[in-house]
Structure 1
């Protein structure tokens, strides 16, 4: 009896300690991290760090197992190896050498993966160009990559047609990877004389492999891919995904490490997602927060819980849908991570219940000791400058206090190495701060605002500055404002993000001041008037200097041009969902930020805004925004 009572007491004490310290949760994060470090150290010691080598190991272990499923078709590890060998020989026939860059402007397909494999095995570097980019942003990305070839899917031909001469001036040879028989007769009514691209005719090449010994000189910091991120300001930046960073990531990286099968779709669809999950007996889903929200708001189905998914892994799961998603689809574990393409650290939080739901990471004492490189520091939210103490060092935030996440950028260790952006040294250096906590240390600013609780959970708060996230992408307000500002009718504009009920991130909104000649009736001979741009019509009030008279037909025509311009020049996720036509100049002085803050607060709230509002309809054009549309959005029934 004494022994039983003692055992119960020990068990009770252990439970109490775990409840206070969450020891087991701490260990569940620290132990895999420690094992990964040992594994990486062994790879480095054996000159075996090439990301391609992980794929090759699976080919040797399970050549006839299924590696990839796409639109009902299955590809074994051996299939992918032989096909990528052919394509690698084609790349070499075009003069591609180790460390050369090849721009890939492609959609989701097995060919994307085969192309990546082909380049990896010959030590060349793919530059993944966002397939939603066009115009000057596309050209900027290609210029940054400094590639030799541009490989594209034919369905993306139109944006290239618009910029083909500029692309050629950058030194690119242009080829479509779409089979010739699928293209011939579709380009300019079959007029081959004006076709500006060649064909990747790779299937005629042999399947001979590339020995592992040829990749022994690959080091951890060598790029395995360039991934273009919108970042915090300006044009896209080319984040270097080196061989060490690619290897442990989810999706393809995890598949090549573990031998698991990847089920890939061309595009995400709520109509087919769970059907495919059930048919393919998927056990792990990679997500972004938007994906989960779309699935949750889709109509309920009797088979919602009929799946074999044991865990979902990703980033951006909103706290307000976290447990709703688990309950509806019967998902036991959510493994949320938080990092950046160029970051030197990451946060992880795996939970199966309400303990830690909504947190982007957990960092108990053991995890902090193993990975001390992440800090939350005080920041001035108006100036975006880090707050320093009397000695000039950063000040760490207390529990519950929001601050900016910074990560140690020390190239002395593989875990904290900072590679930065390819071919953009100024932007790379701009992310770094020295002497953060002691003399000669170096940290990277993430631009993300987080807070932590006393029980060691970390939560995302917001993006620092004006950049906001929409549709899983970072949107630069400066870039959007610059693009829209090229319209002749616009005198001034400012772009900001506004919160949408039930939506992840923030939707873009632009406040526009029109030039008088663009908004007034040219036939009017009456004195200028101050015009209050109400939601229903222009209401003239007493004359005032600088006022304008709005012509409804002229405004309608302008909104049509604005929509066409945005659709042509901006990625779909960056097109402002709301437009506010202002009847007076925007403040462009030192108080400009305050004005912008007020615009954000007012958003599209019809109780606060007494100026004309428009919204981006599901049909892809701007239409007046009134009470009916406002009600649809508030009820979560509008598609933005």
Structure 2
């Protein structure tokens, strides 16, 4: 018996030494499979998020569901307030299958409105509260909404498009006690008068798991926003993700991300899934972040984009480690910021993930490997089929072999992530936009007749099978016959003491093929631009083709509501000092410096007198 125990121990150690992540890989695959089976069961039994919410109202009516500023809302109170909202929508003429658009920031009413709409079998369209005019009308029209509910502070934006809305016979509400316009009604006033009695489940009896639960819009970094269709089954899939990442029913989740974005909204639906408590912030604040975490006894935080960097940029305090946060879930954290975050704020498990609102695939870094977004394993690929395929940057499409099939990328080589579309991993596309929906599909990828979702993202797999995000297909550009990943260049630039942020993109240069690298940067407080130092740094850290030929110093960088850099306007303006008032610099290889980009230098570059 002892011999067998020793043999098993030796075998275990040998296996662990050869495959150190084996048990983590298996455990994660089993968690995802369990989650998938649960969702399949929900689909078969028509079990909705609202059913889960109703159960929790009965099981834990007095447990706090939402903490907001100095207010606490229990599960029962949330139920009653959403019942009131549901009745206002019913009185306004909304019926099962209709959609209402929500145009407001992070506040409790956002959640009561969504729950109320669901209770009468309606869906919601989450409008970005930063959009205006044409973009606002476009986003509204995408969803086919018959009603609009807007925050009081957005009255001006609503009145700007009101004639168009009224022409379409849209019901318009403002979350104010009184309205200043005759054609706009007060939602609050009507809600105060409505009954909080339970809403009959019959009002949503027509719903299936393929019915839309919500329309969530893409950021619109490359054009007008597209409305991703999030069905009730898709909503479950998104909401289970934090559970796979390790959240528990006893957790308090801190959500400072916009609720109109999937990452922010899933903070709420994941709260319902686990029956926990959500601490909601109206708008992210780096200076108030940890004070909020201490105030609400937060144990799990969400992040996206540059939030972690903003937190790390705050002045150090003696109580930086005085908190209960054990888990951080999000995406887009740079490796250097990741290291600084855990070094300064304590050994918090960071669960960096990869996924898209409309996508049918996700990854999560469950191994705490800094810089990775997940792992490439046999088990994961078998149950959730995907591939990284070679991509032609110049042609803007995947490379195919002589038989017409795509070619899988080698280890260490950037490849376009494509994810197989099946009954269990569907792609629902964009509302009222068949053209954009079809553009995201790839046919005959690895064999005849197969169908894959085109993520538009380039990823790499390293020698240890960790997956790393490389770049967006639209962001990567080609220069001197080489592919330049904007994220790689931006990461290198922000290592400099003087550079705080960097937004990298490619610009056209007359007479040159491809695009030359350019970076819009902001400087750290109290720092001046060290042109020679920047040159030495990029020369050391970046290959010649990836070094930005042009630099543009800005006071701030334009970002979307989820902190993604906006590039279209920058690309259009290029490096022309006739159009740009910001300081411009040109990489001068001869002087080994970044020199001011004057009109003379500009004309010399565009005429070909200066070779780049």
* TM-score normalised per structure 2: 0.75
C-alpha distance in 2 between matches for 1:89 and 1:115: 11
Cα–Cα, structure 1 residues 450 and 582, in superposed 2: closer, same or farther, change >3 Å?
A: same
Q: Could you tell me which residue of structure 2 aligns to residue 377 of structure 1?
A: 389
Q: 2:341 aligns with which of 325, 330, 334?
A: 325
Contact 2:587 2:595 in 1 (8 A): no
CA gap of 1:511–1:609, structure 2 versus 1, over 3 A, is: farther
Partner residue in 2 for 1:32: 31
Aligned to 2:98, which of 91, 100, 107? 100
Shift in alpha-carbon separation, 1:577–1:392, aligned structure 2, 3 A: closer
Distance 1:102 1:288, change over 3 A: same
Equivalent in the alignment of 2:67: 69
Q: 1:508 to 1:146 in 2, by over 3 A?
A: farther
Output one character per residue of 1:514-542: Cα deviation in whole Å (capped at 9) or x when no partner: xxxxxxxxxxxxxxxxxxxxx9xxxxxxx
Q: Distance in 1 between matches of 2:501 and 2:97?
A: 38
Query: How far apart, in 2, do the equivalents of 1:509 and 1:368 lie?
Result: 34
On the 8 A contact 2:389/2:408 being kept in 1, the answer is: yes
Matched, 1:240 2:236: no
Of the three residues 381, 399, 403, the one matched with 1:368 is: 381
Q: CA deviation at 1:154?
A: 1.0
- The structural deviation recorded for 1:467 is 8.8
Cα distance in 2, alignment partners of residues 599 and 76 from structure 1: 56
Aligned match of 1:532: none
Q: Provide, for residues 402-454 of structure 1, a one-character-per-residue CA deviation record: whole Å limited to 9, x for no partner.
A: 011111123xx23x111000111111011111111111111111111111123
User: Which residue pairs with 1:540 in the alignment?
Assistant: none
Structure 2: 5+ residue stretches without partners: 240-265, 478-488, 511-528, 530-554, 601-612
Partners of 1:383 and 1:270 lie apart in 2 by: 42
Alignment of 1:482-497 (within 5 A): none
Pairing of 1:140-539 with structure 2 (within 5 A) = 140-180=138-178, 192=180, 194-200=181-187, 201-212=190-201, 214-230=203-219, 233-247=222-236, 248-249=238-239, 250-352=266-368, 356-372=369-385, 374-410=386-422, 413-414=423-424, 416-466=425-475, 501=494, 506=503
Change (3 A) 1:512 1:161: farther
Partner of 1:595: none
Alignment CA distance shift 1:423-1:333 (3 Å): same
1:202 match: secondary structure: helix
CA deviation map 1:271-328 (0-9, x unaligned) = 2110110121111111113111100111111111111111111111112211221121
Partner of 1:551: none
Cα displacement string for residues 501-521 of structure 1 (whole angstroms, at most 9, x for unaligned residues): 2667736899999xxxxxxxx
Specify whether residues 164 and 119 from structure 1 end up closer, same or farther in structure 2 by C-alpha distance, changes over 3 A only: same
The answer to whether the 8 A contact 2:587-2:594 is kept is no
- Cα distance in structure 1, aligned partners of 2:133 and 2:593: 35
Q: Which moved more, 1:241-250 or 1:383-392?
A: 241-250
- Which among 91, 116, 119 is matched to residue 117 of structure 2? 119
SS in 1 for 2:310: helix
Tell me if structure 1 keeps the 8 A contact 2:64–2:74: yes
Cα deviation digits, residues 129-159 of structure 1 (max 9, x gap): 0011112111111121221111100111222
C-alpha RMSD of the superposition:
3.3
Counterpart Cα distance in 2 of 1:137 and 1:287: 26
Structure 1 residues 381 and 505 mapped into 2: Cα distance closer, same or farther (>3 Å)? Answer: farther
**Counterpart for residue 625 of structure 1:** none
TM-fit CA distance, 1:30: 0.6
d(CA) in 1 for partners of 2:577, 2:305: 37
Give the match for residue 19 of structure 2. 18
Report deviation, 1:58: 1.4
Deviation at 1:244, TM superposition (A): 1.6
Asked whether the 8 Å contact 1:289–1:318 carries over to 2, the reply is no
**What is the distance in 2 between the residues matched to 1:8 and 1:395?**
42
Equivalent residue pairs, number: 498
Higher Rg of the two aligned structures: 1
User: What are the within-5 Å matches in structure 2 for residues 551-630 of structure 1?
Assistant: 574=566, 582=576, 607=594, 610-611=597-598
Pick closer, same or farther for the CA change 1:505–1:399 going to 2, 3 Å: farther
8 Å contact kept, 2:577–2:598: yes
The farther-off stretch of 69-78 and 288-297 is 288-297
SS of the equivalent of 2:293 reads helix
* DSSP 3-state at the match of 1:244: helix
Residues in 2 aligned to 1:572 and 1:360: alpha-carbon distance in whole angstroms: 18
Structure 1 residues 58 and 585 mapped into 2: Cα distance closer, same or farther (>3 Å)? Answer: closer
- Indicate the SS of the match to 1:83: helix
CA contact (8 A) 1:52 1:117 kept: yes
Q: TM-score, normalised by structure 1?
A: 0.72
- CA drift of 1:114 comes to 0.5
What is the distance in 2 between the residues matched to 1:149 and 1:213? 22
